[in-house]
């Protein structure tokens, strides 16, 4: 019992400190073979098949699920209720006026979402039906990927992708290794080395592999890509031999086999349990801030509508309370309807008033918004500046629902490798004992043009230094995990030499290592190959030197260094070590530390990736001790990582410093300029990467995310090992808050010149500890809040060694913080998909390999530099346009329906419409829809070149500034004012009436026929012209299309009214509008009245704009004024030059 309790306590402690070892386990029988009876019980577990599902709907649930999602929108549900009311009771307007637009919106949205999901189904089927090779009964057979089961042994050839998560059993390579690229997972095109199980690597044929008798015990699926704990029991003569399994044996789904003819591997995780599938977020519907504002405004207008209907219903019964006032005759109520209970009659009247005033809620706005988003998205796809000639790709819009959100971004979360950088390393220089060597530019094995000879700054070190120099070059040729690949086989002959020169090239899991080995090649020392555990190098004298590779102490992010132990042909033993300066200098006991350190600091400031190189000669006794330490640590099943770290710590000491190197990771074109522009626009940029800290930090300096004066704060595993997480967080919090005097930096202020810029670096393990819920007591506190407080006061944040799901957690953390900022995530690999789906806006980069990010993104762009245009120009324009569209729609509908409300006070609250049915139906569909749709597509309030040159203009529209409540209230009040002017202006024209000789009632001042349809037509005419002129006044960018649509809409209204009232239409059962419009236009005073009422309606808005521009102009308005002044000056100069030419012509005459 005591043993059980101690085991339980160990598990709890491990879980609490973040180690996910053996939380739960599964047993896998390789080849589905039962273990020997004497060893363990055979319990066959059930696992899912290998199907991947990324689709949202099925054939059976599409209609109900899609309808449910669509009717969750307030507007759609409201219009459905109104439509049903119009069907059930007798209302003043036809059900078609509400039903048709609703049906159109629902149908278009369903078709669009159904098509997108069909594409996802198609993509899933292509993956699930992909053929794979499986070993069965000693033969290789083909089956579909979806039919793979846990325990199957899979045969994979070179350049094929792994169909699920596998454990490597054997390889075509003699040493049991294989090389993979994870470009489709994380954008890394470099080769990673993985190792076969020691006891199975000798099995290389189908029959041999099929004969393997073994079981695997491993943890249940975990989303962490970089962690795997398990063991394999290989049965030899019915006795199990246990071997540890780690991440070095695990082949991840989606990775590709490279530089290895074939491998055999056993399936351990399938389908939605693979590590990459566990890192995918579920694809949820994203809604923009503008849509949320629209829904909020809709609720307000719904309350106004209900209030209007209630007031009118109440006043109707108050008015009818007198004995001589009854239901008007023209409502044609039957006796049975009049005898109903008063509550039923009141409720029916309330619903009738709701339908009558229903037009205040603009159903056509949702149709127009859908069209604006769909058509507007083509401007991104047609933009030639976002076309990449190298890839032959244009920007792609996967969803048009978020166009305006591009103009509201406050936080940008970007991947590093393949997004900010090209993942293309260039060896710059090396420093040996203070002597600097600078060869010509070498990049990934390609010598740049013109680099014909070696160029060293310092070619004359002393005799002792020359020995150190050669030792340094040898160290870099030996201390790495680089593999040599010869030229591809052609016609069965391997061409390894071309014109007497080797055409082989280097591949490695780290592009830095390739650049360093290539750099050494240019400086006279060439790494040739690793053969039979011997590394061969070619020295300056063209002599081949052989070193036996005894041990490799692999790199890890905590130690931040790697080492090799080699034996020279003379029998001498050396430990060569390279790593970050902070990891090497404390372990050095001799060497020219000061000179090398100065050079390293200089290179780091320039954003170069620096490494230090040191060595230690070993005696045979010391080597024996090293072997004993390493073998003990490697065989440990529990705490293996910890024991290896302790062994490495004891081995890598008493080093002699040789020198340092500097490598540049090429940034993508204009990446630094783009980040600088985003900062000026007020956005905070975070880099989230799976890369190690030093590499990522160097890129951040190069891309101008961190500046020279940026004070770097570290929240990393190394620091939390020295101090508790609680203490580290509070130290950092005090540091940043002391600078700001307890005041947090405004989350949208970007870079500030009057305070220290802080940059925060955090790694994945520490983030896990921060994100884990803690006890709410004084000792632990709320770590998330403290972490957020630190981040708010940092101008830039770098998160390194991030698992894909952690990237999404970071985005969610910021997204859900109290400010609720708009977030954007951009990346190029499958490991970025989770954060792309989590952010408000997800952007995929079209990398050369892997399209998962592009497929799952909202927008896809060829290069990172295009982010500047899509945000600062397109995003800015889309937001300006749709803001005006939304406010204008509510405004013009208030203008439209408020006179109807006022009219009820003059018609005994009888629900009599003020406007004719044709005008009610066509107002939003034909007379006023096209001008605002065109405005929302092509309006440019500022030239796009100015938007690109001055990113600070982006701040003018920040935080949904054009759709805030004060502006919404202003537009509503303006609409009410215009409605009052129109209604009462027309009312006073009809104030005095008299009978003509033929018995018609005429107005004495305008000589128009007096009647409710004439009155309504006059109000409607003023209304159409006022709202159209209002839009014309707001338009800054005039083209012939604007003129055609704006003036064309007004002409269409006049022509329609003349035809509608000028002909007796036989299909109508009424002819109430006959001759009304023409008779109104025949009155001269009516024309004058229309002009005066339009002027009176527009005047306050014009005056307000003039005063605000003069006294409180925004940055945008200042630029517009400057532009208008320049246009005016150019016109004056042109006019004066014309006058001068005319004067000269007269003089000559």
Measured in degrees and rounded to the nearest 5, phi and psi for residue 926 equal -120, -45
User: Alpha-carbon distance 685 to 680, whole Å?
Assistant: 11
Cα–Cα distance between 809 and 825 in angstroms, integer? Answer: 12
Using only C-alpha atoms, the chain has a radius of gyration, in whole angstroms, of 38
Cβ-proximal residues to 305 (8 Å cutoff; 6+ apart), any chain: 354, 357, 358, 360, 361
String of DSSP letters for 663-719: EEEEEPTTHHHHHHHHHHTT-EEEEE-SS-HHHHHHHHHHTTSS-TTPEEEEE-HHH
User: Would you list the DSSP string of 713-776?
Assistant: EEE-HHHHHHS-HHHHHHHHHHHHHHHTTTPPPPTT--S-TTS--EEEEEEHHHHHHHHS---S
Tell me the pairing of strands 758-763 and 711-715: parallel
Task: Give the whole-angstrom CA distance, residue 698 versus residue 694.
Answer: 6
Measured distance CA(896)–CA(277) in Å, rounded: 53
Both tokens of 713, joined, read 């704060």
- List the structure tokens of 1011: 């009647």
Is residue 415 part of the annotated active site? The answer reads: yes
Q: Which among 415, 665, 828, 858 is annotated as catalytic?
A: 415
Specify the 3-state DSSP secondary structure of 548.
strand
CA gap 788, 1104 in Å, rounded? 41
491: left (phi over 0), alpha (psi -120 to 50) or beta: left
Cα–Cα distances (Å) from 345 to 318, 336, 794, in that order, read: 14, 11, 64
CA 439 to chain centre: 40
Could you tell me which of 166, 218, 167 has the C-alpha nearest to residue 24? 218
Q: Considering only CA atoms, which of 659, 629, 654 is closest in space to residue 644?
A: 629
HSE on the CB side for 859, CA within 13 Å? 33
Q: Is 1033 helix (H, G, I), strand (E, B) or coil?
A: helix
List, as own/partner pairs, every contact residues 592-601 make where C-beta atoms lie below 8 angstroms and the sequence separation is at least 24, other chains included.
592/433, 592/434, 592/657, 593/657, 595/431, 595/433, 595/434, 596/431, 596/433, 596/434, 596/657, 596/659, 596/660, 599/431, 599/434, 599/436, 599/660, 600/431, 600/660
Q: Are 259 and 485 spatial neighbours (Cβ–Cβ below 8 Å)?
A: yes
Q: Hey, CA dihedral for 760, 764, 766, 768, is it positive or negative?
A: positive
Identify the residue whose tokens are 């219903």: 313
Q: What is the DSSP string of 184-252?
A: HHHSEEEEEEEE--TTTTT--SHHHHHT--EEEEEEPP-S-TT---EEEEEEETTEEEEEEE-GGGEEP
- Beta-bridged to residue 194, according to DSSP, are 178
Torsion angle in degrees (nearest 10) through CA of 1099, 1100, 1106, 1111: 160
The answer to whether the CB of 430 falls within 8 A of the CB of 472 is yes
Q: How far is CA 697 from CA 610, 732, 737, in A?
A: 11, 19, 24
Helix 876-903 × helix 289-319 angle, to 10°: 0
Query: 98: burial class by Cβ within 10 Å (0-12, 13-18, 19+)?
Result: buried
The end-to-end CA distance of the chain, in Å, is 122
Please give the positions annotated as active site: 415
């Amino acid at each position: 019992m005591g043993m059980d309790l101690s085991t339980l306590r160990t598990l709890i402690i491990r879980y609490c400190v973040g180690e996910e070892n053996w939380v739960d386990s599964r047993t896998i029988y390789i080849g589905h073979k039962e273990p020997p009876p004497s060893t363990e019980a055979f319990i066959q577990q059930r696992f899912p098949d290998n199907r991947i599902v990324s689709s949202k709907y099925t054939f059976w649930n599409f209609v109900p699920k899609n309808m449910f999602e669509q009717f969750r929108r307030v507007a759609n549900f409201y219009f459905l209720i109104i439509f049903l009311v119009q069907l059930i009771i007798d209302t003043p307007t036809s059900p078609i006026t509400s039903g048709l637009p609703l049906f159109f919106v629902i149908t278009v949205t369903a078709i669009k979402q159904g098509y997108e999901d069909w594409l996802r189904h198609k993509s899933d089927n292509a993956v699930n039906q992909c053929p794979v090779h499986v070993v069965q009964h000693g033969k290789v057979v083909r089956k579909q990927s979806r039919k793979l089961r846990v325990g199957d042994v899979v045969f994979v050839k070179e350049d094929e992708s792994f169909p699920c998560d596998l454990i490597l059993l054997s390889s075509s390579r003699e040493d049991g290794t294989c090389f993979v690229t994870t470009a489709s997972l994380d954008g890394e095109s470099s080769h990673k080395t993985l190792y076969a199980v020691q006891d199975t690597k000798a099995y290389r044929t189908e029959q041999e592999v099929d004969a393997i008798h073994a079981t695997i015990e491993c943890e249940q699926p975990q989303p962490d890509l970089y962690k795997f704990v398990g063991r394999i029991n290989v049965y030899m003569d019915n006795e199990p031999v246990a071997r540890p399994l780690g991440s070095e044996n695990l082949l991840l789904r989606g990775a590709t086999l490279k530089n290895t003819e074939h491998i055999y591997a056993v399936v351990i995780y399938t389908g939605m349990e693979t590590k990459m599938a566990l890192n995918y977020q579920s694809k949820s519907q994203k809604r923009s801030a503008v849509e949320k504002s629209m829904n909020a405004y809709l609720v307000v207008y719904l309350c106004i509508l209900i209030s209007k209907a209630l007031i009118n219903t109440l006043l109707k019964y108050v008015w009818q309370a007198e004995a001589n006032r009854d239901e008007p005759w023209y409502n044609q109520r039957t006796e049975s309807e009049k005898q109903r209970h008063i509550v039923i009659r009141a409720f029916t009247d309330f619903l009738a008033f709701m339908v009558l005033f229903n037009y205040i809620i603009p159903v056509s706005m949702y149709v127009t918004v859908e069209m604006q988003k769909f058509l507007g998205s083509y401007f991104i796809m047609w933009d030639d500046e976002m076309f990449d000639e190298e890839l032959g790709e244009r920007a792609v819009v996967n969803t048009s629902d978020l166009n305006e959100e591009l103009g509201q971004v406050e936080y940008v979360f970007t991947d590093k490798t393949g997004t900010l950088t090209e993942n293309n390393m260039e060896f710059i220089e090396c420093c040996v004992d203070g002597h600097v060597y600078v060869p010509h530019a070498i990049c990934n094995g390609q010598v740049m043009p013109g680099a014909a000879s070696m160029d060293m700054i310092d070619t004359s070190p002393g005799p002792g230094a020359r020995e150190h120099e050669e030792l340094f070059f040898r160290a870099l040729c030996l201390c790495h995990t680089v593999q040599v690949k010869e030229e591809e086989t052609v016609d069965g002959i391997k061409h390894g030499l071309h014109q007497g020169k080797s055409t082989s090239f280097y591949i490695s899991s780290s592009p830095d290592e390739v650049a360093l080995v290539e750099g050494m090649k240019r400086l006279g020392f060439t790494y040739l190959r690793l053969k039979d555990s011997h590394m061969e190098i070619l020295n300056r004298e063209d002599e081949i030197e052989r070193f036996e590779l005894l041990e490799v102490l692999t790199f890890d992010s905590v130690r931040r260094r790697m080492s090799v132990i080699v034996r020279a042909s003379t029998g001498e033993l050396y430990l060569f070590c390279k790593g970050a300066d902070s990891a090497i200098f404390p372990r050095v006991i001799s060497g020219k530390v000061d000179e090398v350190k100065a050079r390293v600091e200089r290179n780091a400031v320039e954003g170069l990736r620096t490494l230090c190189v040191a060595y230690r000669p070993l005696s045979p006794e010391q080597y024996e001790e090293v072997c004993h330490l390493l073998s003990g640590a490697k065989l440990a099943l529990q705490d293996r990582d910890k024991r290896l770290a302790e062994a490495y710590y004891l081995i890598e000491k008493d080093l002699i410093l040789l020198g340092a190197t500097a490598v540049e990771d090429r940034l993508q074109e204009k990446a630094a300029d783009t980040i600088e522009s985003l900062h000026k626009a007020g956005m905070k940029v975070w880099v989230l990467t799976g890369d190690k800290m030093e590499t990522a930090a160097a890129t951040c300096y190069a891309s101008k995310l961190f500046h020279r004066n940026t004070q770097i704060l570290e929240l990393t595993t190394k620091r939390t090992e020295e101090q508790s997480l609680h203490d580290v967080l509070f130290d950092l919090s005090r540091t940043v808050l002391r600078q700001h005097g307890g005041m947090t930096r405004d989350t949208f202020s970007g870079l500030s010149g009057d305070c220290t810029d802080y940059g925060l670096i955090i790694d994945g393990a520490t983030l896990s500890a921060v994100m884990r819920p803690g006890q709410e007591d004084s000792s632990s506190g709320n770590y998330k809040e403290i972490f957020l407080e630190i981040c708010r006061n940092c101008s830039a944040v770098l998160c390194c060694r991030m698992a894909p799901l952690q990237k999404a957690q970071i985005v969610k953390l910021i997204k859900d913080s109290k400010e609720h900022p708009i977030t954007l995530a951009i990346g190029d690999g499958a490991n970025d998909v989770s954060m792309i789906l989590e952010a408000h806006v997800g952007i995929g980069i079209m990398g050369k390999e892997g399209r998962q990010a592009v497929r799952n993104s909202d927008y896809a762009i060829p290069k990172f530099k295009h982010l500047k245009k899509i945000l600062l120009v397109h995003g800015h324009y889309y937001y300006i346009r749709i803001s005006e569209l939304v406010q204008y729609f509510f405004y013009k509908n208030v203008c439209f329906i408020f006179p109807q409300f006022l009219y009820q006070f003059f018609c005994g609250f009888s629900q009599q419409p003020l406007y004719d049915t044709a005008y009610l139906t066509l107002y939003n569909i034909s007379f006023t829809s096209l001008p605002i749709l065109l405005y929302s597509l092509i309006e440019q309030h500022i030239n796009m070149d100015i938007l690109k040159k001055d990113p600070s203009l982006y701040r003018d529209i920040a935080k949904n500034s054009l759709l805030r409540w004060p502006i919404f209230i202003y537009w509503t009040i303006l609409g009410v004012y215009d409605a009052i002017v129109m209604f009462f202006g027309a009312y006073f024209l009809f104030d005095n009436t008299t009978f003509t000789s033929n018995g018609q009632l005429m107005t004495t001042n305008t000589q128009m026929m007096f009647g409710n349809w004439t009155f309504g037509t006059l109000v409607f005419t003023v209304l159409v012209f006022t709202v159209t002129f209002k839009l014309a006044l707001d338009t800054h960018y005039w083209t012939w299309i604007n003129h055609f649509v704006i003036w064309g809409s007004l002409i269409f209204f006049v022509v329609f009214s003349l035809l509608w009232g000028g002909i007796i239409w036989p299909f109508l059962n009424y002819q109430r509008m006959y001759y009304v419009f023409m008779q109104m236009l025949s009155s001269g005073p009516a024309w004058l009245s229309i002009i005066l009422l339009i002027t009176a309606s527009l005047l306050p808005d014009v005056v307000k704009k003039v005063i605000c521009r003069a006294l409180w102009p925004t940055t945008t308005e200042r630029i517009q004024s400057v532009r208008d002044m320049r246009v005016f000056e150019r016109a004056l100069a042109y006019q004066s030059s014309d006058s001068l030419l005319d004067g000269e012509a007269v003089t000559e005459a």
